[in-house]
């Protein structure tokens, strides 16, 4: 079964450093997302991406964050200057369309980001 | 704005028994989608079951079924014949259908389910 692949599975970074989280969505999917889950809390939407541009973003997704699809397969989330409160599990997801019949979303296994 | 509420932070059930996890939501949309996701200790988010709001019939997937009460805005998950592998965090989520825009998933805070042998 097709998978969404995220790398790395765990990243430790120093406060103030830039990090790039990588995702390879399912190949025929057109919509891409990033979600975040701070330990012990609920999953929160960050941003959605379609046709090479951001289509929606949440309040969390401030100027520190950016997303990019640098080639035909990768979808990246960059955090420019990490803060302690950016420590969380970051999930990438993709879907073929917007409705539930598209299968909803397929999530990756997540990247655990630890900012020290 | 959409909200999703899961009022049971933790639940436990004996193996082979049946358990129901509660979820209520609030939305102003006429058409929307509801989901249950499972998050085992590996932290991966796995889709368990989904329901389209315009469909009257409750969705079922093997041992998993939902009780969708649209008027009450309730979407509970029933797990029959519970297995040890069902031990996980379960998240209820909703997604609007904003006339062609993507919409995004709104999650509840989750219910931690423990299946006991």
User: Following DSSP, what letter does each residue of A33-97 receive, concatenated?
Assistant: EEEEE-TTS-EEEEEEEETTEEEEE-TT--TTEEEE--SSS-EEEEESS--GGG-EEEEEEEESS
Handedness of CA A18, A19, A24, A28 (dihedral sign): negative
Closest CA to B95 of B10, B35, B16: B35
Work out the percent of chain B whose per-residue pLDDT is above 70: 92
Unique residue bearing structure tokens 């129901």: B20
pLDDT at A101: 52
**Least Cα separation, residue B97 to chain A (angstroms):** 7
**A51 torsion bin: left (phi>0), alpha (psi -120 to 50), beta (else):** left
pLDDT at B101: 45
Following CA atoms A8, A9, A10, A16 in sequence, which dihedral angle do they give, to the nearest 10 degrees? Answer: 40
* Joined tokens for residue A106: 């397929």
Which residue in B91, B104, B107 is closest to A48 by CB distance? Answer: B104
Phi, then psi, of B83 in degrees rounded to 5: -120, 155
Which residue in B47, B91, B109 is closest to A104 by CB distance? Answer: B47
What are the C-alpha distances in Å from A76 to residues A24, A58, B33, B87, B117?
9, 17, 27, 32, 42
Mind listing the pLDDT tens digit for each residue in A70-88?
887 899 999 999 999 999 9
Q: Which of A96-110, B57-71, B74-88 has the lowest mean pLDDT?
A: A96-110
Q: Which of A28-37, A93-102, B52-61, B72-81 has the lowest mean pLDDT?
A: A93-102
Bridge partners (DSSP) of residue B75 are B68
Cβ distance B42 to A109 less than 8 Å, yes or no, reads yes
By CB atoms closer than 10 A (0-12, 13-18, 19+), residue B14 is exposed
Cβ distance A109 to B44 less than 8 Å, yes or no, reads yes
**Least Cα separation, residue A58 to chain B (angstroms):** 10
Check residue B58 and report its DSSP letter: P
* Joined tokens for residue B76: 């509970």
Work out the percent of chain A whose per-residue pLDDT is above 90: 69
* Joined tokens for residue A63: 């100027």
């Amino acid at each position: 079964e097709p998978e969404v692949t995220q790398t790395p599975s765990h990243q430790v970074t120093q406060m103030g450093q830039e990090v790039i989280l990588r995702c390879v969505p399912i190949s025929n999917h057109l919509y891409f997302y990033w979600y975040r889950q701070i330990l012990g809390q609920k999953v929160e939407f960050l941003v959605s991406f379609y046709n090479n541009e951001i289509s929606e973003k949440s309040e969390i997704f401030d100027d520190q964050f950016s997303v990019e699809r640098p080639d035909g397969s990768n979808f990246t989330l960059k955090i420019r200057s990490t803060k302690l409160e950016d420590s969380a599990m970051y999930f990438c997801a993709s879907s073929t369309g917007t409705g539930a019949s598209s299968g909803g979303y397929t999530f990756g296994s997540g990247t655990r980001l630890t900012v020290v | 704005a959409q909200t999703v509420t899961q009022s049971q932070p933790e639940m436990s059930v004996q193996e082979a028994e049946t358990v129901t996890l509660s979820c209520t939501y609030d939305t102003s949309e006429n058409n929307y989608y509801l989901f249950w996701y499972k998050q085992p200790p590996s932290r991966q988010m796995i889709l368990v079951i989904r329901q389209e709001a315009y469909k009257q019939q409750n969705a079922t997937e093997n041992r998993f079924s939902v009780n969708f009460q649209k008027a009450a805005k309730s979407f509970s998950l029933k797990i029959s014949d519970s297995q040890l592998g069902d031990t996980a965090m379960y998240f209820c989520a909703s997604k609007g259908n904003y006339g062609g825009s993507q919409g995004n998933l709104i999650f509840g805070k989750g219910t931690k389910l423990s299946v006991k042998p």
